Amino acid sequence: MPVEDNDSQVVLTHPEDNSTTVTILKYGANVLSWKNKGKEQLWLSEGAKVDGSKPVRGGIPLVFPVFGKQKDANHPTFPLPQHGFARSSEWEFLGQTSANPPTVQFALSPEQVSSEALKLWGNGDYDFTLILTVSLELDKLTTEIEVENAGEKEFEFNWLFHTYFRVPDITDTLVNNLIDQKCFDQLLAEEYVEKSPIISFHEEFDRIYKKVDYGKTFQIIEFGKVLINVVRKNLPDAVVWNPWIKKSDGMADFLPKNGYLNMLCVEPGNVSDFVKLQKGEKWTGAQILTVGGEIKVQSNIY
């Protein structure tokens, strides 16, 4: 059956390969698992809470209306918790829009968000409708978000897919095609231009790559083989994060503690500035994730 609604979770199975599946938790509309031909592509902490008690540690947490913690005390998102309330709200399952490829939609509007959380954004004066579309193909997963300003007041927001990819060993893992990109290093609190043609990981890593040309495909590579390709639609930025040892130790729900060796976040989003929506306006953004393929080296000289 291509789509099963199991109360708290929805499972998609590809009609041409029953070992290609996606499991989505309605709480946070979090894609907990994406198995491509039986191989898990995402990382989910063994300590992840999936009972709605806190945002899920792993899978694809949805970050809205703010990325991180807003520093400007005058900004409407300042009172919000880190990464906003989308990942800690129960989304409504709208159903299936296609049988092949199996495609489903989830919605979030103020009715599904706690009144406490709502009040923290523009004093609760905003009205919005978020529609998440998840589509499962062979060797490919697409997640697309549509944000509509359903109210009278203009608002501005960040969006980010906080995607946790599973990797065999972070110390053998590389990411390409970020060279020459401006980035903000969250650890140094410094902005600079990335000069490494290929990113490797040997310590905590937390960088926001800004306004990256949409022609750039980020590839997660191990031993010369492409594990995953990350392509973006209307999401100009990408955060690359690995917590490493100390940060992993500090997160109670990050288990096992050496799990940082098997995960890497590559997070497409619009976080280096805010998207502004007037009354009735809509905005969409998507990440298109594909498995395997050839290494593509892309620099800014092309």
Known binding residues for substrate are 57, 82, 87
Residue 14: active-site member = no
Name which position in 15, 52, 68, 79 contacts ligand TA6 (CB under 6 A). Answer: 68
The reply on whether position 47 binds ligand TA6 by CB under 6 A is: no
Question: How far is Cα 165 from Cα 289, in angstroms, rounded to an integer?
Answer: 10
- Annotated catalytic residue, options 16, 162, 191, 281: 162
Kindly state the smallest distance separating residue 237's Cβ from ligand TA6, in Å.
Answer: 11
d(CA 5, CA 17): 19
State which of positions 217-256 bind ligand TA6 (CB under 6 A): 239, 241
For the annotated binding site, the residues are 57, 82, 87
Structure tokens at 185: 């290093």
- Reply yes or no on whether 267 is catalytic: yes
Residue 169 contacts residue 47 (beta carbons within 8 Å): no
Residue 46 tokens read as 């063994």
CA 171, 175, 176, 179: dihedral to nearest 10 degrees?
Answer: -90
148 binding ligand TA6? (CB under 6 A): no
- Which residue type is seen at 70? Q
- As a whole number of angstroms, the distance between CA 93 and CA 9 comes to 9
Mask of contacts with ligand TA6, 93-132, x by CB under 6 A?
A: ----------------------------------------
Point out the catalytic residue in the list 111, 267, 281, 294. 267
Under rule CB under 6 A, which residues in 262-301 are in contact with ligand TA6?
Answer: 265, 267
The H or E element spanning position 222 is strand 218-222
| Paired tokens of 232 | 């973006």
Residues found near ligand TA6 in the complex (CB under 6 A): 68, 82-83, 162, 186, 206, 239, 241, 265, 267
Residues with a known catalytic role: 162, 267
